[in-house]
Amino acid sequence: MTGRVVVIGVGNPFRRDDGAGPLVVEALRTRVPEGTVLTDSDGEPGRMLGSWRRQDAVVVVEVVHAHPGQPGRLHTLTAERAARCATRSASTHALGLGETFALAAALDRMPRELTVHAVEGEDFGIGRGLSTAVADALPELIHHVAEAVDEAHDRLRRAGAPADGRETA
């Protein structure tokens, strides 16, 4: 089996800023190499783990709460750092990414590599549309994620794995 590049936009588009993850995924549809797997997730751990295989390179896009916060500020986290945050989850979901990654590690289901690109949110109320701070940060977030996808494809190619997701014998 070979690895794929998987981008997961975590969030709920009906919870204002929480919809940024899926918006990033939608914006990437014409910007990433063919064969990139683009998907949305509500953050439920079982479904998240089902989105990737152990040999994949995974990029997660999420909106977080930070205390003290600076809405619109961007963060890049490794899976290890996100898992360390599990006890003080900053996700807008019942279980945060840290808990999901800790579960994946315990089940030996972590992908080959995993990076989280996050933006600090401001408004998580009911409704559609982003706060000004998150909307202003979105182009830079999309750019960072697109670069991460290109770099992941390059690493998979260098490792001898076709980045198009095809399996080899």
Which CATH number does the domain housing residue 72 bear? 3.40.50.1450
Question: What's the number of domains the chain is made of?
Answer: 1
User: pLDDT tens-digit profile of 21-45?
Assistant: 999 999 999 999 999 999 999 988 8
- Asked if residue 166 belongs to a domain, the reply is no
pLDDT digits (tens, 9 = 90+) for 101-144: 878 888 888 898 999 999 999 999 999 999 999 999 999 999 99
Contacts (Cβ under 8 Å, ≥6 apart) of 97: 10, 43, 60, 62, 82, 85, 91, 116
Q: What is the pTM of this model?
A: 0.85
Q: How far apart are CA 62 and CA 64, in angstroms?
A: 6
Which domain does 21 fall in, by range? 5-160
